[in-house]
Structure 1
Amino acid sequence: MSPSWPRARRPPLPPLRHRRPAPPSTGSVCRTTTTGTGAWHLPPATASFWWGMAYLVLLCTVFAFFAQNHAASRTSPSRVSLLMGSEPVFGALIAVWGFGERVGPGGWIGGAMIVAAAWWVTLPPRRA
């Protein structure tokens, strides 16, 4: 059981550690920049490619990350957890209806379980 610290006296959180993701991300970069023969494959040198990359990095990744954290800090933790926990369902539905992706029975069952769990936790508690 953790002690209930007053808000002003809570111990500081430890700094984030970024050691673990480094090897997989380094391997991903090396794998995507080489061909099957081991030769390096350079990205296109066209301006349209790099403008597209800048758009994807700045708007779709950086801005979305900060907007999501800004919105999450202004609502309750339970609401944030429901939204973040149901994100795979939204992604699957967009893939199915927007892009024609096929989902097998296991995928539909998993999605239904996520929706059912999200609905269940929103129910008011029963009085004993």
Structure 2
Amino acid sequence: MASSPRGGPALWPVLALMLNALVWGISWWPFRVLQSHGVHPLWSTALIYLLSLLCLLALRPGALRAFASQPGLWLLVVASGLTNVGFNWAVTVGDVVRVVLLFYLMPAWTVLLAWPLLGEKPTAGALARLALALAGVFTVLQAGDGGWPLPREAADWLALLGGFSFSLTNIMLRRLQRAPAQARIAAMFGGGALMALAAGLAGMGAGIVAAPPAPSFAWTGVALVLGLAFLVGNVGLQYGAARLSAHTTALVMLSEVIFASASSVALGAADLAPRTWLGGALIVAAAAWSAWPERQAAVPAAAGAK
């Protein structure tokens, strides 16, 4: 069994990350339900994370004070917020499987960011797992004429933005792991609300985002349940990402591809071609490989911290 940087078994951190991946992997459906009631995913995101933040403050009133004492958490606010803006918007308006796979080019961003920010020089094994995962992604996204895929619509760019931001979020959770947990969670919830609200207002000004509708029972119940799911999932991400290497976190979270693909096919929102099955198998293999122990010494918890 793999070990976490703190020396303990990786089972619980891996399961916590997979719970978060499950929430994200099936979130496209409630977001589309909300959109059908006139609630843009940016407003849904802002509401969900505002509710989550209020729940946190009710349970941990000192969370904001703890956040204010850690100026470095502002980057986590931005990274976490843009993750949700990019992914939630893209998965609502784009092809679910394509969006999720573009989002999971994230391991490439992790290799680029973890070395300068955490001091985690990628090992040969990490690079090999990365290559296997990306081979799966490119297999799925390969165009029917044999050409390599390029972003063709807004959902593609939003998915790439979300993946880059999610990688940065995971890295900042490791970099700031000595900050109080309640402060980190407040930063993530506050970022989800703040960045979605800012993007929504900017979109309204540009005429591409409709104003939110009046509250109604038809959609507020869906929003509340989704908010609770994201609350639990983000706690799982907080727990898992702070205890595993950035590379392992990125690869374990690829299980979201399976959850998203299975749910979208089951609900008639996608049609998996043979190359998608092949690519998905490569991605799963890379994620499973990440559970094997590293042969290098664990990076100290404070690596990369200033």
TM-score (norm: length of structure 2): 0.27
Q: Offset of 1:87 from its aligned partner?
A: 1.8
Q: Could you say which residue in structure 2 is the equivalent of 1:60? A: 229
Q: Could you say which residue in structure 2 is the equivalent of 1:69? A: 238
Matched, 1:25 2:199: yes
Q: Offset of 1:92 from its aligned partner?
A: 1.0
Q: Offset of 1:102 from its aligned partner?
A: 0.8
Check whether the contact 2:203–2:209 (CA below 8 A) recurs between aligned residues: yes
Output the CA distance in 2 between the equivalents of 1:63 and 1:123. 27
Question: What amino acid does structure 2 have at the position aligned with 1:84?
Answer: M
Matched, 1:51 2:225: no
**With CA pairs under 8 Å and 6+ residues apart, which has the higher RCO, 1 or 2?**
2
Output the CA distance in 2 between the equivalents of 1:68 and 1:85. 13
Distance change >3 Å, CA 105–CA 28, structure 1 → 2: farther
- The correspondence for 2:280, drawn from 86, 103, 111, is 111
Q: Secondary structure of the residue that 1:102 maps to in structure 2?
A: coil
- The correspondence for 1:84, drawn from 253, 257, 262, is 253
Higher helix share: 2
Q: Could you say which residue in structure 1 is the equivalent of 2:138? A: none
Q: Could you say which residue in structure 2 is the equivalent of 1:94? A: 263
Aligned length: 105
Question: What amino acid does structure 2 have at the position aligned with 1:86?
Answer: S
Q: Offset of 1:76 from its aligned partner?
A: 4.2
Q: Where do 5+ consecutive residues of structure 2 fail to align?
A: 1-69, 83-194, 295-306
TM-score (norm: length of structure 1): 0.52
Distance change >3 Å, CA 85–CA 49, structure 1 → 2: closer
